[in-house]
Amino acid sequence: MFDFTGKRVLITGGAHGIGAACAAAFHARGARVAIGSRHQNSFEEFAARSGLAGLHPAVGNVSTQRGAEAVIAAAVTRLGGLDVLVNAAGVFEEVPIERISQAHWDDMLGTNLGGTFFCSQAALPSLAESSGNIVNVASDAGLIGYPMGVAYSAAKGGVVNLTRAMAVELARRVRVNCVCPGNVDTDMIQRAAMASGDPADYLQRARARAHTKRMARPAEIAAAILYFASDEAASTTGAALAIDGGGTAGF
């Protein structure tokens, strides 16, 4: 299912978590894959750890327009064009409202929302040429309020509506969709658990927030991203798919 033979795919944040699962999934289906990461050593560590052959580095900090343009340029140069952009680069930190600093706000909005937009903007000429598509990684925090994550929620809510706005404007050139994962068993949530002071309790509450009482696996999110990026989804654009164990569906 989902043949990407010869397709040129860039995954920002591709060295960790959901991005890494996407890299493995696209690679297994014949895609040529570029990995966006902030540092060359992150790419090299992932390439060695994953065992995936033929990966291409696309290094830069997507939280700035210039950094995003560098990532896209590296990928387009190495791949010879672009068919799919997966905006998976993201950061997360829990901070109460009273303690939110300018630096925290800028980091959450700059990477999660700004990076998604500026990478999409820079990739647009290549994607339009190939009639390609964009898949953004938003969050259930972009659909409902997330206490202790005000800046993160603002950013991911922005990603959801950015997806819709871009999909409408680009409808005849580039498809744009997003996934909205709930809690996913990645290194990001493990770091948040450690920072909480009681990792076991934090992870138990993370599982309990889903009606299925479990966290999703990164590969489950990657499977939805593969669908959005595939020819089977040719009539799908502007969609925001919650993958959250029913957490946003209701009580």
Report the SS3 class of residue 34.
strand
CB 245 within 8 A of CB 217: no
Distances (CA, A) of 224 to 90, 158, 217: 18, 20, 12
Active-site residue list: 152
Q: Which of 123, 127, 129 is nearest to 71 (CA)?
A: 123
81: left (phi over 0), alpha (psi -120 to 50) or beta: left
Beta carbons within 10 angstroms of residue 250's beta carbon: 6
Report the SS3 class of residue 122.
helix
HSE-up of 64 (CA within 13 Å, CB side)? Answer: 7
